[in-house]
Chain A
């Protein structure tokens, strides 16, 4: 057992380390109220812009709020909503991609041209436009990001379904009397999933980055809620005197995005899936 574990650690170092980091991050996210030393939105102007101390391990911001607590609570929004975006975009993309790939013909043309249309607009611009119409806020940004994101999944999945469809086992299943629904469930989705896991981990980094950039632009999470991008925005005014206010959330974004990307790379190596 021990030897096996050591073997795994050696051969898949990146995979193990990345998964560990993410596990820790997820645990922190879930147990933020217990882990965080202070209330993340409690304003205390008497303690503003303090250096790290025992009470405030990473110091305080311009309103005297504990930076560490804000980072920990911020993980809830950044990670939590990134997962929400990922899962929703994936489900939409999976359904549309499979329908387009399997049915073919005009259904395929219609769905894919719709996707092409969405892809023609740069994704950030699209979200900004979306926010411009419906007003700034977390909900709008999330819906905008989902709308932008599903196209990528749909296209990749459609491609995979098209190549899977050529396999004789799909024809054989049809001849064995399997319904379309059963063919999807038993033959197509299981064969698409490993590639989706790879894509998903790579895209998670994208979702977090975009969510944070939107918040940084002041379009996403609204104060006083803590979110990494929004924290960078708030720290911006103090960049000369207290750069730490921007550095800590920035480092967190970097850590999470890099971890997700490395995890995606190692998964793709493992499953032998090529990146798009």
Chain B
């Protein structure tokens, strides 16, 4: 049994208007199916507006799709009863792109990280604090950061806190929705390194949603390309991606910047 199975998911945002002249439906996801095995990482690449984030929300269980199924550990997350759903949710966590808006500005790091612990594990105050410190240390922060508020952290540090909150319950799958995209290059590589370490340590699986092809390759075992709501191709290796003949993939491939401007070959001419 695979960890996560997405079956023929279709979704569109209908514009609900009182005086609707014509049925305007905006297809966001078209017939998407894929599988994530335990301990692997699926990278999902696509341009903005390709439906990546919507797909992330559908998988997280906060945006019911109009058609299709999302099976997590064999259970349909939208059909499960409340108790199973709560249990499933525990194994399914998220890290968003914008680290600042992902944390309540009025809560300390300790409160932020202990929120999932409070919900699922009834720990004593001391135990909970010990767990939070452990988590902080795991993501490269330390005890002194416990009482700090979000504005006292840098973007990278906050993202580490978000990761700590996501791994607090030792989940099976984490959806990384553009989690490293708003960080600078150095921080980005450090966070990616942390993520792959965590993956090995806890046997985590990731759904790595990004528009950054390089970042996706550095961590993913499988790469999917999403374009206008369709999952056009799925690759098991870098080579497959680079030898693909699909025009969209070609466009994506050409958009990768060379290490140095001198090496850059412009295949798409600017108008």
Choose, from B31-39, B114-122, B130-138, B248-256, the stretch at the interface: B114-122
Whether A169 lies near B116 (C-beta < 8 A) is: no
Q: Which residues of A contact B106 (CB under 8 A)?
A: 190-191
Pick the 8 closest A-B CB pairs, nearest first: A176-B116, A177-B119, A168-B102, A168-B96, A168-B101, A167-B101, A169-B104, A190-B106
Interface residues, chain B, CB within 8 Å of chain A?
Answer: 60-62, 86, 89-90, 92-94, 96, 98, 101-107, 115-116, 119-120, 162, 165, 168-169
Nearest CB to that of B115 among chain A residues? A176
Are A175 and B101 also in contact (CB < 8 A) when A190-B106, A191-B106 are?
no
Q: Give the most central of B62, B119, B169: most A CB within 10 Å.
A: B119
Q: Which residues of B contact A190 (CB under 8 A)?
A: 104, 106
Q: Which residues of A contact B165 (CB under 8 A)?
A: 172, 176
Nearest CB to that of B175 among chain A residues? A175
Whether B119 lies near A169 (C-beta < 8 A) is: no
Q: How far is it, in angstroms, between the C-alpha of A179 and the C-alpha of B116 when the chains are bound?
A: 11
**Interface flags, A170-184, vs B, CB<8A=1, else 0:** 011111111100100
Q: How far is it, in angstroms, between the C-alpha of A82 and the C-alpha of B67 when the chains are bound?
A: 54
Are A177 and B103 also in contact (CB < 8 A) when A168-B96, A172-B94 are?
no
Nearest CB to that of A170 among chain B residues? B104
Whether A177 lies near B86 (C-beta < 8 A) is: yes
Q: How many residues of A contact B (CB 8 A)?
A: 17
| Sampled A-B contacts (19; CB under 8 Å) | A167-B101, A168-B102, A169-B101, A169-B103, A169-B104, A171-B94, A172-B94, A172-B102, A172-B162, A173-B104, A175-B62, A176-B116, A176-B165, A176-B168, A177-B86, A177-B89, A177-B116, A186-B115, A191-B105
Q: Which of B62, B86, B92, B104 is within 8 Å of A187, CB to CB? A: B104
Whether A175 lies near B98 (C-beta < 8 A) is: no
Nearest CB to that of A173 among chain B residues? B115
Other 15 A-B pairs with CB < 8 A, given A171-B62, A182-B119 = A168-B96, A172-B94, A172-B102, A174-B62, A175-B60, A175-B92, A175-B94, A176-B116, A177-B89, A177-B119, A177-B120, A186-B104, A186-B107, A191-B104, A191-B106
